[in-house]
Amino acid sequence: MRILAAQVNPTIGDLSGNTRKIIDALHRARRQKIDVVLFPEMTICGYFPDDLLLDPSFINQIEKQLDVIEPETKGMFVCVGLPRKNQTGMEKPLFNSAAIFIDGKLSGFKDKTLLPTYDVFDERRYFEPGAEQLVWEYQGKRIAVTICEDVWQHSKSVGYTHYRVDPVMDLVNKKPDLVLNLSASPYYYKRTDVRLSTFQAVAKTLKCPVILCNQVGANDQLVFDGHSLCIDGKGDLIEIAKGFVEEDLVIDLSEPKKVCDAPQGDLTDLYSALVLGVRDYFQKQGFKRAVVGLSGGIDSALVTYIAKDALGAENVLAITMPSRFSSKGSVDDSLSFAKGLGIEIKNISIEPIFKEYLSLLEPEFGGKALDATEENLQTRIRGMILMAFSNKTDALLLNTGNKSEMAVGYCTLYGDMAGGLGVLHDVTKLHVYQLAKWIGLPEEIIQKTPSAELKENQTDLDLLPPYEILDPILEDYIEEGLSVEKIAKKQGQSVKFVREIIRKIHSAEYKRRQAPISIRVTQKAFNRGRISPIVQKWR
């Protein structure tokens, strides 16, 4: 039996485009004499369409695609993911399903049983759980079809929910010869190991091969890494698709296979996720060009480098915008860095406009001392200039803030927070350093003391602890959910010190709510994955 896991990159709501990808894959499958084809979860509409699911015409149009796909499945067993109507009329209006085609006929549906409703997932908003585990017979083999989360309870690696049901255990008595899993399992840093061990546990329990087809591509905040795979009945990995690109993973169950290693490379994956996050945000919206403010610092240099890899150097415009507080190094480093990458760069001083604001506002402020107001003015002038280029040249502004800054609110609304996409909003400063070294950014940029350069001799240390101290606390609190006391103990800091940082995180919620969407690359990103009230007195 020859199986194809078609690791495709769908666009949300592009029903005809996604169906085209399905049919193209079926044509390739036929040419390669494939028996079984599986696609990712919600192939037809892309994962995840949010409240488009509540539009009845959206669901109708999705179901119509089944008629287009059906004749193309002749001679094969094909699983395609889609949301479909819950005809019982009870509870939620939809199921998250796999349509099963056998030899050119729609044979039935498998409905997802475990519906993630935590972190960035919101499936109980729309879906009813499928009641039972189903097995189809094809070419003498008993094929079980599962959807993403259905197999995750088995490895006890699901967050925030301890499902009552373990569909994998329910399958034991059904004695499948093969388990297929349609997934939209998003990337996060070091996730691939967890996913691999989950699928290995399933194969060991059911003593049969398990094949995962995972979505690839970025949709808004989520990046799907692909890495579709096949585990044999002993629990060994025997095939794995590339990450972050579309690929046909072909598995021939009749041929003996060697055990293969999972690809290593945490930083490679992290970098690839960021590049794909940027590329898909642009391509799927039909944008070609990006504009970036290049400060001479490490964050904006990294974003520019990512933009070049995602969009091509010719599609990136960098702008350096010095003020009276900018060091000569900042401008020179920006110019030579952009030149080195083959990126156009403009040098526009904000001084004339800054002076104009000061002379306009000084009399209004009645002699009050300079403070954050004037610092914010500078960064907002930069934001406005960048947005003017964005508007005039039909380019999207990439935001260059990092997760450490976003966490504690070390950023200015409508200033350095401007932009369409927060490329590094889920990357802590320490990870920015790691990535910068890994891709080989110039030493003078990496070594520069972090500074917003909004007043004389300013550095990030004026307001923040060193990132070596700050970042582990942020990770412990945001990603691990540890208590103040545990963090203090683990990091060797006082409870008071940790509490003050956590207070900053909560106080900055109002800023983050107006931030551009970010590319999620950790297990806990701000906004969609971490819903937080603005007005609250808990911290």
Nearer to a second copy, 302 or 386 (CB): 386
* Nearest-10 crossing angle of helices 495-507, 467-474: 70
In the complex, the smallest distance separating the C-beta of residue 211 from a second copy, rounded to whole angstroms, is 28
Spatial distance between the Cα atoms of 536 and 539, rounded to a whole number of angstroms = 8
Residue 18 or 228 with smaller CB distance to a second copy = 18
List the catalytic residue out of 79, 123, 128, 148: 148
Enter the tokens of residue 320: 């350096």
CB distance 102 to 136 below 8 Å: yes
Which residue's CB is nearer to a second copy, number 90 or number 140? 90
Give the β-pairing of 210-214 and 178-183. parallel
Task: Judge whether 208 counts as a catalytic residue.
Answer: no
3-state secondary structure 246-282: CEEEEEECCCCCCCCCCCCCHHHHHHHHHHHHHHHHH
- Give the residue carrying structure tokens 């508007």: 391
* Annotation marks residue 148 as catalytic: yes
How far is residue 209's CA from residue 202's CA, in Å, rounded to a whole number? 9
Of 391, 409, 413, the residue nearest 505 (C-alpha) = 409
Which residue number, 258 or 368, has a Cβ lying nearer to a second copy? 368
* Token reading at 11: 């666009």
User: Which residue lies nearer to a second copy by CB, 464 or 482?
Assistant: 482
Q: Nearest approach, Cβ of 38 to a second copy (angstroms)?
A: 24
Q: Pull the structure tokens for residue 380.
A: 């907002």
| DSSP three-state, residue 107 | strand
Contact 39, 81 (CB under 8 A): yes
Which one of the listed residues 41, 239, 405, 475 is annotated catalytic? 41
Q: How far is the CB of 482 from a second copy (least distance, A)?
A: 10
Rounded Cα gap, residues 418 and 424, in angstroms: 13
Considering the complex, what minimum distance in angstroms separates the CB of residue 243 from a second copy? 20
User: CB of 528: closest distance to a second copy in angstroms?
Assistant: 9
Would you name the residues annotated as active-site residues? Answer: 41, 112, 148
